[in-house]
Amino acid sequence: MAKHHYLLLLPQLFLFLHHISAANNPIGVNYGTVADNLPPPSQVATFLKQKTTIDKIKLFDSNADILRAFANSAISVTVSIANGDIPALVQLPAAQAWVANNISPFYPQTKINRILVGNEVIFWGDNTQIDNLVPAMKTIHQALKIANLDKDIQVSTPHAMTIINGTYAPSTGRFVGKNKEILEPMLEFHNQTNSPFMICPYPFFNLAPDNINYALYKPNAGVFDPFTKKNYTNMFDAEMDAVYSAMKALGYGDVEIVVAETGWPSMGDPNQLGVSYDNAVWYNKQVIKHVSSGVGTLLMPKRTFETYIFGLFNENLKPTVSERNFGLFKPDFSPVYDVGLLRNQQGGGPVNKPAPTPTPVEGGGSEEDKKWCVPKQDASDTTLQSNIDYVCGTAGLDCKNIQSGGACFEPNSVRSHASYAMNAYYQAHGRHELDCYFSDSGVVVSSDPSYQECKYEA
């Protein structure tokens, strides 16, 4: 198992967490349900609303229970039509019936904002589905129009990266072969209906032994595009720009791009290339930070991309180990890792403001200037144990005092030991509020937690 140092958010990530306020948060999640152990949709809706900053979800179906569960929430919901249903939906009455059955009963109570006609149809679909894709998108749009919903609900479809050729020189990305015949009219449809082109850039699926750092936003030699003289230092941007170049080559550079899926598994088969817990945490944090930053890509500067992380939960019925482990959360809602989408219980603020001062759990302070870091009252033993492991392991602090025979060994409880360790870390790292964050399990207090022979540093 991975070490638990991920439970500590780095200061810049903590600040970032404040940065993605609900108002301009471009990050959503894919709520996949290929599992037999997921919580009921009503609990999922409550969880997302109360505990996370996630304000948009994407479904791979139009599950009525889920749509009902998200009624009267501020969370936008994207629904999907199964690939197999595409050919029939080319007929307008069928499309109208689909809208009447899957949208009208739930909208506007549930903020359905997009219907996706199939999923990666050009990659997975048979020829009938592929040939009928754009016609079905048009009839669904037509059906929405008749129902007077076309202004509120967009129609799109997500694409696998296989629709374009290589990304080694992003500016040369093109829709290859038959794809062009389908995608050109599709882009025209997006242009006319003001709906986004949706793609699934997954650096993870493009990994080679020599490009892991490039895929992971880590220091690397870069990939130089000789045609634009631009140097790519991350694969995600190269993939985005390759798609953009293909769109632009057909005259549709203005069509919005939405990232329908991206992510990284936290577990895989033994020795599977690039799979690790730390890589999953790292990739997801970086991609979230990157798309939210407003920097854009080399060919699309200053653009922000609505991005759906895959996925919300680990899905236990997926075929491979890595596919089962793309989730941000376990079915019991505990985070697999925290990528900064958890709501800060103490309230957030914009990035430039200092971190909020936590409310002390103990009474008012006496000695000015002295502060200690202790566990929050509601912190779980699991989290606190992770904090101990981190401080005394990865971070390498001296924990002799909480080992057997040490002055702070008694009471021999996780909470008591964590309290000592967390404070030791806080003091050693300069006593910034952030040094006591510990994934929201620590709080700074001004009364000395020392007792008997157990003296806390201050």
Indicate which residues carry an active-site annotation: 120, 261
CB of 181 to ligand NAG, least distance (A): 13
Nearer to ligand NAG, 181 or 254 (CB): 254
From the list 174, 303, 415, 455, which residue makes contact with ligand NAG (rule: CB under 6 A)?
A: 174
**Can residue 191 be called a binding residue for ligand NAG (CB under 6 A)?**
yes
Closest listed residue to residue 199, CA positions, set 154, 153, 247: 247
Among left, alpha and beta (phi > 0; psi -120 to 50; other), residue 204 is alpha
- Give helix 277-292 / helix 235-249 axis angle, nearest 10°: 50
Number of residues interacting with ligand NAG: please give it, by CB under 6 A. Answer: 16
CB atoms < 10 A from the CB of 329, how many? 25
Nearer to ligand NAG, 17 or 300 (CB): 300
From the list 66, 183, 198, 255, which residue makes contact with ligand NAG (rule: CB under 6 A)?
A: 255
Nearer to ligand NAG, 133 or 255 (CB): 255
Going edge to edge, which strands form the sheet with 111-117? 154-156, 111-117, 76-81, 56-59, 27-31, 307-309, 257-262, 197-200, 158-160
Taking CB under 6 A as the rule, which mask of x and - marks residues 303-342 in contact with ligand NAG?
Answer: ----------------------------------------
Nearer to ligand NAG, 162 or 231 (CB): 231
CB 278 within 8 A of CB 240: no
From the list 39, 92, 123, 168, which residue makes contact with ligand NAG (rule: CB under 6 A)?
A: 168
- Work out whether strand 223-225 and strand 230-232 pair parallel, antiparallel, or are unpaired: antiparallel
**Can residue 163 be called a binding residue for ligand NAG (CB under 6 A)?**
no
Q: Which of residues 195-234 bind ligand NAG (CB under 6 A)?
A: 221-222, 224, 231, 233
**Can residue 269 be called a binding residue for ligand NAG (CB under 6 A)?**
no
For ligand NAG, which stretch binds (CB under 6 A), given 53-61, 168-176, 383-391, 426-434? Answer: 168-176
150-165: b (≥16 Cβ within 10 Å) or e: beebbbbbbbbbebbe
Nearer to ligand NAG, 212 or 361 (CB): 212
> DSSP states of 161-227 as a string?
GGGB---SSGGG--B-THHHHHHHHHHHHHHHHT--EEEE--GGGG--TT-HHHHTT-S---EEETT
* Site residues, ligand NAG (CB under 6 A): 165-166, 168-169, 172, 174, 176, 191, 194, 221-222, 224, 231, 233, 254-255
